A and B are shown apart, each in its own frame.
Chain A
Amino acid sequence: GQNIDQPTEMTATEGAIVQINCTYQTSGFNGLFWYQQHAGEAPTFLSYNVLDGLEEKGRFSSFLSRSKGYSYLLLKELQMKDSASYLCAVSLTSGTYKYIFGTGTRLKVLA
């Protein structure tokens, strides 16, 4: 079957660094996405990893290890506005659907 696991909730302090992990077991892996979703709003794209390694984009970085079925999203210099859910999603090369999402990690940033 297809499965994505990520922690349900995390708490961190403003200005700190937080790492949100995602592990997946899928058939026909193509790439891994991270989306940010503020409460009651639409998910918005953060990053996309196809190859192993680290992709850096401003305060956000995303890492992928295809052999380990593992990814993480690293958020630096946390701000209050980073309080949101972070969704890990995998795109598949085969199957009846192209995308599966994890249940999301709700991040609370405290002052």
Chain B
Amino acid sequence: DADVTQTPRNRITKTGKRIMLECSQTKGHDRMYWYRQDPGLGLRLIYYSFDVKDINKGEISDGYSVSRQAQAKFSLSLESAIPNQTALYFCATSVGGEETQYFGPGTRLLVL
């Protein structure tokens, strides 16, 4: 079984809809991250969390919100989706004190 899982893997939604992307991990890591990846722009950090009570904005947090329900779960919400949020979204985890990040398989989101 994969250590970092994301659901759904693919999602098509319409402008204005609220959607949630979920991430779960069995690695026991305390730190979790949400990124989006766009062609030509690379990976950009949306939010990160160093433990359940710690949530921080990343480079491009506008239009997004997150929830850290437990150490193993970190959800990303788009309150009112817009077409320029169409992207590939990755969740990642790491252990405090170590810098290596471990990525989930990604969620491909299309906003019409």
Residues of B within 8 A of A48 (CB): 99-100
Which of the four size classes fits the interface of chain A? 20 to 34
Residues of A within 8 A of B44 (CB): 101
Residues of B within 8 A of A31 (CB): 99
- A7 contacts the other chain (CB 8 A): no
Whether the pair A87, B43 counts as a contact (CB closer than 8 A) is yes
Bound Cα distance from A102 to B41, whole angstroms? 8
- B15 contacts the other chain (CB 8 A): no
User: A12 → chain B, closest Cβ, in Å?
Assistant: 22
Residues of A within 8 A of B48 (CB): 97-98
A75-111: which residues lie under 8 A (CB-CB) from chain B?
A: 87, 89, 91, 96-104
Residues of B within 8 A of A100 (CB): 45, 59
Q: Residue-by-residue, is B39-53 near A (CB-CB < 8 Å gives 1, otherwise 0)?
A: 011111100100000
Bound Cα distance from A47 to B100, whole angstroms? 9
Residues of B within 8 A of A42 (CB): 90, 103-106
A1-60: which residues lie under 8 A (CB-CB) from chain B?
A: 30-31, 33, 40-45, 48
User: B91 → chain A, closest Cβ, in Å?
Assistant: 9
Residues of A within 8 A of B43 (CB): 43, 87, 89, 101
- B27 contacts the other chain (CB 8 A): no
Given A42-B105, A45-B100, verify A103-B40 contact (CB < 8 Å): yes
User: A91 → chain B, closest Cβ, in Å?
Assistant: 5
Bound Cα distance from A101 to B40, whole angstroms? 12
By a beta-carbon cutoff of 8 Å, the part of chain A in contact with chain B is 30-31, 33, 40-45, 48, 87, 89, 91, 96-104
In the complex, besides A45-B102, A97-B59, A103-B42, 18 extra interface pairs with C-beta distance below 8 angstroms are: A33-B100, A41-B105, A42-B106, A43-B43, A43-B90, A43-B103, A44-B103, A48-B99, A91-B99, A96-B56, A96-B58, A97-B48, A97-B56, A98-B45, A99-B33, A99-B101, A100-B45, A102-B42
